[in-house]
Structure 1
Amino acid sequence: MPQKWKRIGMALFGVIVTGFCVGAFQKADLGADPFTCFVTGVAGLFHSKYSVFYLVITGMLLIAVFVVERHYIGIATVFNLFGVGVAADFMGRILDAWFLEPSMAVRAGIMAFGILGTCFAASLYFTADLGVSAYDAVSLIAANKYKIMAFKLCRIATDFVCVITGFACHVTIGVGTVITALFMGPVIQWFNTHLSEPFLYGRGKKSRMRKYNLAGEGYSFSV
């Protein structure tokens, strides 16, 4: 398969899986991801709807990303804007049909799927290098452009800020929120190294194409 189509497929599949995982978090009801906590908290401050402030905050972040490092805006960003919600609703309907009143064990399993799936999905479209969501771009820019610290630490930092903001705005923080905030960065990096990059570039092969270095050392050019 030509690498261009691999990248498009990875980006699209990553966004669809992200949406499925949002639906899983909603069904598990054990704490949303950090960015959802942040948006929910800010929306509550202004007595507005989540959907309204999601568009406002995402729009502001997209403008900032476009000014600072427009490389991160691409077809995957568009997929993310329009695909995540549809996929989340679809997954929600499936889970509602399968589990009317899930036990705590089932909810924990759904939450685990949401956490691991979100990390895997992010790794796919990070590696595809066709754009990322506005929120994901923040930690990538901090790690790769400004070299503040390794990507996994930048991701933990941005997630932590979102969780603290949500908590300060009286958003309920669950175990899923805490786990995602602490471990999403490192798990994304693991998926990137062991699954996404080997799939795109081939195991044991070096690529001349630019790719993300999630260790926070900037872009790497292999020859």
Structure 2
Amino acid sequence: MIEEETHPHQFFERIIRSLVSLVGVAILALGATLCKVGNVGLDPFTAINLGISDKLHLSLGVYQLLANIVIIIFVLLLDRKKIGIGTVFNMVLAGFLIDWFSTLYSTMFHYQPTLLTSIINGILGLLVFTLGTSLYMTADLGVAPYDALAPIASTRLNIRYLYCRIVQDIAFMIGALIMGGPIGLATIIISFFAGPLITFWDQHVSEKMVNQLVDFSKEPSGKKIGHGIDVAGKSTYNLVKGSYIHTVEIQKKLSHFSDQELEQKTRQVRQTATQARRVLRTSFAQLLLLKKEQNRRKKSEDRQD
């Protein structure tokens, strides 16, 4: 009886996570498009695919799908647990969405590229790309075929994942250079330094969003929708407002700080950020425990009735 009651909730949660994953793939494709039109480079896999597809006179979407099919065959043979609906979204849609966004961008914007436009597109592209990656990963419905290679190699060869991933990214970057793919600063940042940005989106956007949606899936109601929108709006406003205020304060004080005071202030801000992350993780853990206890008590009351 309990399994029959929980099954619809699990199915609804699966649908919600799938939608989050789909939206994440679309957003990361938009970010990749901005990096592409800004001429600041793309992630190694997309860069090499774009270089090869140009030489073969194929669209990026068609060639990237073919490349993903080849990779996913090996993944299925070696570790099929890494494959999910999110994998399918990424391998099938990412390349075609980049093609579509690129066409849309060129139709909407007509200007002569400059250093300023490249910087703006590059920064926006990195922010949007890492946000999409965060949403896609937080949905936890499988990884892209390219991202499954390093973990499998690490397990099979008994080598640390970090080393496997570095070798993989460098190899694909070299391949992209040889094939004339777009390699630039964004390629280096995405390959080696995107972690902090993705973590930022995880903590401030993706995890909160997915937790709210999953909570809603257990007991859908109009009231929860309104509450979720209200919480999301306030969180976004407070995040932007707080970040701006802190930025202004630091800018205002920088000129008055000595080198020693500046170093001390930097340490204080770093410690505050570390403590805030710990509090956030603890709060999420406590929230999950409270939610589980509420569900347990409710199920207990239902059985008694």
> 1:163 aligned to 2:170?
no
> Normalising to structure 1: TM-score of the pair?
0.73
Partners of 1:9 and 1:83 in 2: how far apart?
A: 13
Matches of 1:39 and 1:100, distance apart in 2: 27
Q: Please state which structure has a larger fraction of its residues in helix.
A: 2
Residue 9 (structure 1) aligned with residue 88 (structure 2): no
Are 2:34 and 1:24 equivalent residues in the alignment?
A: yes
Does the CA contact (< 8 Å) of 1:72 and 1:129 recur in 2?
no
User: Larger C-alpha radius of gyration, 1 or 2?
Assistant: 2
| Contact 1:142–1:149 under 8 Å retained in 2 | no
Contact 1:37 1:171 in 2 (8 A): yes
CA distance in 2, matches of 1:170, 1:86: 20
Q: 1:163 to 1:68 in 2, by over 3 A?
A: same
Structure 1 residues not aligned, in runs of 5+: 209-223
Structure 2 CA distance for partners of 1:43 and 1:83, relative to 1, 3 Å: closer
The alpha-carbon distance between structure 1 residues 134 and 30, as it changes in their structure 2 partners (threshold 3 A), is same
- Decide whether the 8 Å contact of 2:37 with 2:102 is kept in 1: yes
Paired residue type of 2:26? I
How far the C-alpha of 1:99 sits from its partner, in A, is 4.1
TM-score (norm: length of structure 2): 0.56
By relative contact order (CA 8 Å, sep 6+), the higher-ranking structure is 1
CA drift at 1:194: 4.6
Aligned mate of 2:125, from 88, 93, 114: 114
1:117-128 alignment, distance < 5 Å: 117-128=128-139
Q: Contact 2:39–2:182 at 8 Å: present in 1 too?
A: no
Tell me, in whole angstroms, the C-alpha distance in 1 between the residues paired with 2:207 and 2:156: 20
Counterparts of 1:127-206 in structure 2, within 5 Å, are 127-141=138-152, 148-149=159-160, 155-169=165-179, 171=181, 173-201=183-211, 204-206=283-285
Q: Is residue 150 of structure 2 the alignment partner of residue 71 of structure 1?
A: no
- One-letter code of the match for 1:176? A
For residue 230 of structure 2, what is the aligned residue in structure 1? none
Note the C-alpha offset of 1:171.
4.4
Distance across 2 between alignment mates of 1:191 and 1:3: 21
SS state at 2:112 partner: coil
Once the two structures are aligned, what percentage of the paired residues are identical? 28
The CA distance in 2 between the partners of 1:191 and 1:155, in whole Å, is 22
Residue pair 1:142, 1:148 contacting (<8 A) in 2 also = yes
Match of 2:114 in 1: 103
What is the number of equivalent residue pairs in this alignment? Answer: 205
CA contact (8 A) 2:45 2:172 kept: yes
* Counterpart residue number, 2:64: 54
Task: Report how far residue 167 of structure 1 moved.
Answer: 2.6
Instruction: Give unpaired runs (5+ residues) of structure 2.
Output: 1-8, 213-279, 290-305
